[in-house]
C-alpha cells in the first residue's frame, strides 16, 4: 500500500536551473495538492487539482507550474530556481476536497536546496 510517493527525497539545485518534483498516488483520489513547508511557517498551498486536466493556484504559486494528465500523477515544475524556493515540498491527495470532512494523505516530502 504505497499511498502518496514523492521523488526525489533530496535535491540541490543551482540558481536558474529547473527541475520537476514527481508525485504519484495509488488511491484513485481525484484531489491532489502541493504544499511547501518553511521552518516556523506551517504549510502553504502552492497548487491543487480537483481532477485530471484541472488545476488551480493556491496561496504561493509564483515560480511554479503543475500539470495533471492522469489521476495518479501531479508533477510540480520549478523554472529558474531561486534561493527563495529552498524548502520542503509535500504532495498530498484526498478523496474529496481536503478542506472538507476528509483526510489528506501526505507524501514523505522532497527537501530542496537552491544554491
Q: Is 98 a residue that touches another protein (CB under 8 A)?
A: yes
Q: In what order do the strands lie in the sheet with 19-25?
A: 4-7, 19-25, 76-78, 64-66
Least separation in angstroms between residue 40's CB and another protein is 6
CB 92 within 8 A of CB 103: no
Interaction mask 5-24, another protein, x per CB under 8 A? --------------------
Pairwise CA distance, residues 19 & 37, whole Å? 18
- Of the pair 13, 33, the CB lying nearest another protein is at 33
Contacts with another protein, residue ranges (CB under 8 A): 4, 31, 33, 40-45, 48, 50, 58-59, 90, 92, 97-101, 103-104, 106-109
Amino acid at each position: 500500500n504505497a499511498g502518496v510517493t514523492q521523488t526525489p527525497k533530496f535535491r540541490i539545485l543551482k540558481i536558474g536551473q529547473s527541475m520537476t518534483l514527481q508525485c504519484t498516488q495509488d488511491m484513485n483520489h481525484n484531489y491532489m495538492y502541493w504544499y511547501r513547508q518553511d521552518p516556523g511557517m506551517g504549510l502553504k498551498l502552492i497548487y491543487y487539482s480537483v481532477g485530471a486536466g484541472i488545476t488551480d493556484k493556491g496561496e504561493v504559486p509564483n515560480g511554479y507550474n503543475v500539470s495533471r494528465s492522469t489521476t495518479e500523477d501531479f508533477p510540480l515544475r520549478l523554472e529558474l530556481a531561486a534561493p527563495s524556493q529552498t524548502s520542503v515540498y509535500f504532495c498530498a491527495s484526498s478523496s474529496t476536497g481536503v478542506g472538507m470532512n476528509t483526510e489528506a494523505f501526505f507524501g514523505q516530502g522532497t527537501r530542496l536546496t537552491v544554491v
